[in-house]
A and B are shown apart, each in its own frame.
Chain A
Amino acid sequence: MFSAITAGRRGSGLGFALPAVLLLFAFFVVPVAALLTRSVTEPELGLQNYAVLVGSSTYARIFFNTFFVSGVVTLITVLIAFPVAWALAIMPSRWASIIFAIILLSMWTNLLARTYAWMVLLQQTGLINRSLMALGLIDAPLQLTNNLVGVTIGMVYIMLPFMILPLMGVIKKIDPAILQAAALCGATKAQALRRVLIPLAGPGIASGALMVFVMSLGYYVTPSLLGGTANMMLAELIAQQVQSLVNWGMGGAAAFLLLVVTLGLYAVQLRFFDAKEAR
């Protein structure tokens, strides 16, 4: 009742939030709203930009690339992250903390540095192609950069920590007694995994997967460096329309589509997964 805030001011503390609110309003809300407005006002009032975006096969290809790569990246990330998160949750803590430190190091290493590493590793004369040829597995170097294969590898590398860390928390919270009960009732390990552990971790997996998918949809740096200009994704389209073509109408329209999909998927996540975890 004597809290400094209420004793010091008659107000409710709202004033403290004012600088941050003003900053975000002036340099976040207004600019984003202005950009989206330009999608229906430039070059003239109307929905023509959206008509072009939905109608042309060039853009259809870009949407396909974006959703396809994001989907594949999410799937691979989940398949690797689940066993790793499971192991990290139950491993002796000394081992776990070493692996944990590596995950954090990778996560905080500069994004361009990580992408550069993959550009060099995956190029025609790169270490991976040369090792595969030395082992006799392939005769000619594989094309691994400037296409969606490179983008997928680079993106999985970046997204793994975002999937492992939350999933580990989810698995740690599961009561081991439930799995003991499954074993006592005669479940084999495979049955316990399929019918107890995975369903219990399910909401965590789904919510992490959704987050990775959404983040992948809007990624710019890695797709443009590893994918090349021929394999464009949505974020690159927005940047290209605005920077090289100075077509603010189209850029705004593409940004609006990305925004709607992103917020829509986050709404799904809040609606379904947080409600489940709260129970």
Chain B
Amino acid sequence: MLLDFNKLGAWKWGLTAICVLMALFLLLPILFIVGLSFGSSRWLIFPPPGWTLKWYAELFADPRWLGAALTSAKIGVIVMVLSVALGLLASLALVRGTFRGREVLRAFFLTPMVLPVVIVAVALYAAFLRLGLNGTLVGFVIAHLIVALPFAIITITGALETFDPAIEDAAILCGASPWEARLRVTLPGIRHGLFSAAIFSFLISWDEVVLAIFMASPSLQTLPVKVWTTLRQDLTPVIAAASTLLVALTVLLMIAAALIRKGKSE
């Protein structure tokens, strides 16, 4: 009775109301930023007295915003490639390996996801001070790779677990070398998992704030670091414009991920 929506009676409306209110609570702040970014009030009056594109003009006119966005994109793409490559190898070991202690290794791979990011950030900051990697592209990539890798491993092991190794064996019996079998049979077989892992890895790097704050230098910063430093000075609508573009990109990538999932189920 409580698990049959149509037999809930009056409770049905109560639950629906809570759901709708919660959805509004989650959605309205995001729509609010989008609205602000087109509003003409510098003092963030809402609803705005008029509409304008000047905050976007200001955003694109400032080379530091554009530079930060390019840096973020560059780091995101490198992290994406490395995270999928290392994640694929690690997943092969976890799913197809025969060595002992695979469960321990899996748990080890996932620890960076469990620890508070601030601890990883401070620890890496100290290590990079010694190695001279703070404020470098390499430093950013390593830091983001540490937190993106667990997500790639979860996604790719999930795909590998549902891919029957017998298909790979069949290719080998038909004369393929083991590497040929892996590259031309298994990889295409788990491509949905690889694409999802790539999207997740990119998004994690692209959105990451805490590690980036510690890795950044005045000459090299990512988009979230630029937002962070600007936010601490004032709440200018330029941030709303930047945030709106970030939301737009997220929506596009989410749609891409959903299409991949749909393609897989068909």
Contacts and interface: CB of A to CB of B under 8 A. Distances in A.
Tell me the dominant secondary structure on chain B's binding face: helix
A171 B145 CA distance: 35
Nearest to A154: B29
B43 A113 contact: no
A160 B22 contact: yes
Contacts of A171: 3
Contacts of A27: 124, 127, 142-143, 146
Contacts of A127: 32, 46
B26 A14 contact: no
Contacts of A248: 126
B166 to A, nearest CB: 9
B239 A116 contact: yes
Given A24-B112, A157-B25, A235-B116, A90 B126 contact: no
Given A32-B123, A105-B251, A179-B2, A17 B105 contact: yes
Contact of A23 (B2, B145, B210, B247): B145
A7 B93 CA distance: 14
A10 B25 CA distance: 57
Interface string B229-255: 001100100011001001100110110
A4 B178 CA distance: 5
Interface in A42-82: 80
B15 interface: yes
Interface string A104-117: 11101111111111
B15 A116 contact: no
Interface in A1-49: 1-9, 11-21, 23-24, 27-28, 30-32, 34-35, 38
B19 A35 contact: no
Contacts of B46: 127
Interface string B105-131: 100110110111111111111110000
A231 interface: no
Q: Which of A14, A197, A219 has the most CB of B within 10 A?
A: A14
The 6 closest A-B pairs by CB, nearest first: A218-B116, A13-B97, A8-B178, A113-B243, A17-B93, A117-B29
Interface of A: 1-9, 11-21, 23-24, 27-28, 30-32, 34-35, 38, 80, 83-84, 86-92, 98-99, 102-106, 108-121, 123, 125-127, 157, 160-161, 171, 174, 176, 179-180, 182-183, 189, 192-193, 196-197, 217-221, 225, 235, 238-239, 242-243, 248, 251, 255, 258-259, 262-263, 266
Interface of B: 1-5, 8-9, 11, 14-16, 18-19, 22-23, 25-27, 29-30, 32-33, 36, 43-44, 46, 86-87, 89-90, 92-94, 96-99, 105, 108-109, 111-112, 114-127, 142-143, 145-146, 149, 153, 165, 168-169, 172-173, 177-179, 181-182, 186, 203, 207, 209-210, 214, 224, 227-228, 231-232, 235, 239-240, 243, 246-247, 250-251, 253-254
